[in-house]
Amino acid sequence: MATLDRHHIPLGVFYAVATTIVASTAAATVKYISADGISPWLIVWVQYGLCTLLLLPWLCRHGGRALATRRPLLHTVRSLGGWLGFTCYYLALPHIPLVDATLLRSAAPLWVPLVVLVGMQQRIPAVRWIALLGGFIGVLLILRPGQHGIHGGHLLGIVAGLALAVSMATTRALSSSEPANRVLFYYFGISFLASTPMGLAHLQPVSPQALAGMVYVGLSIFVTMVLYTRAYSHAPTTLIAPLSYAAVPVAGLLDWWLWRQLPDGVALAGVALVIASGVLAVLVGALRAPSAMSGTADRQRSEH
């Protein structure tokens, strides 16, 4: 049954697209309620508080031993990377179009090789450098620094993508030895603590509509994680990973529908270049993984 599930391509695509829709509507919700004066600092604090509460039953069932780890530093780096990524993303949303913020954050896979090179001292294949260069040119086409200067919101979007890349790279490292719920609890708990000072500093009266929006944003993390996991259980990485860029056209539709904002031709060319470069980076990584495994197997056979 599991084998059949993994090869249920249409269902995998459905879950992947649903993931992008939920994530994009959550981002639009942040932008919408921020326009009513709700601080993004408060939104991100409530988000991580809700997520931590939702994992407390798991912790109560398994006790403190469930949090025992030999990699506390890596958990901290992964958690702060994810927290900084979401915080900068939410802070950018009130100031730049939703599609720009979404694209700059979605460019995280392009920055992962740099994180791996700097933080883990691993070589980067030449093809990935090409993808990285293409993505960087695409970002410049969107920002066009020589025309009006770079808006602070765009800089926040870039930092969000870089921070998410740190989170992605360290999550891969943790997944080899740590169970998923432990990684999530450390992530949510540390992020909640990191958010608390600014969250408390921005406490304010909240309307029922804004409160409902914040609850939706918080719950969306859990929903997207469930959908994302199911997508990968039904279809291969080479198909599912590039579909994450579907968040960009979804964000563009929401921008047009809610705020009547549309990117011009140059920005659209930048969007296309970033997406193409990101897909190339994903495909290169997927193609290299089997060859690396084959090389490891060959070495093991030669040792015996």
Q: Which of 259, 267, 248 is nearest to 34 (CA)?
A: 259
H/E element, 195: helix 180-201
- What's residue 119's pLDDT? 64
CA atoms within 13 A on the CB side of 228: 14
Residue 1 pLDDT level (bands cut at 50, 70, 90) = very low
H/E element, 224: helix 208-234
DSSP state for residue 245 in the 8-state scheme: G
Say if CB 40 and CB 91 are below 8 A apart. yes
Give me the residue label for tokens 């090179």. Answer: 117
More confident residue, 193 or 287: 193
pLDDT of 121 above 80: no
Say if CB 29 and CB 217 are below 8 A apart. yes
For 8: left if phi > 0, alpha if psi spans -120 to 50, otherwise beta; the answer is: beta
Say if CB 47 and CB 221 are below 8 A apart. yes
- What's residue 20's pLDDT? 87
For residues 122 and 160, give the distance between their C-alpha atoms in angstroms, rounded to a whole number: 23
DSSP state for residue 94 in the 8-state scheme: T
pLDDT per residue over 55-92, tens digit each?
A: 999 999 999 899 999 999 999 999 999 999 999 999 99
Burial of 256 from C-beta contacts in 10 A (0-12 / 13-18 / 19+): middle
What is the distance between the terminal CA atoms of the chain, rounded to a whole angstrom? 35
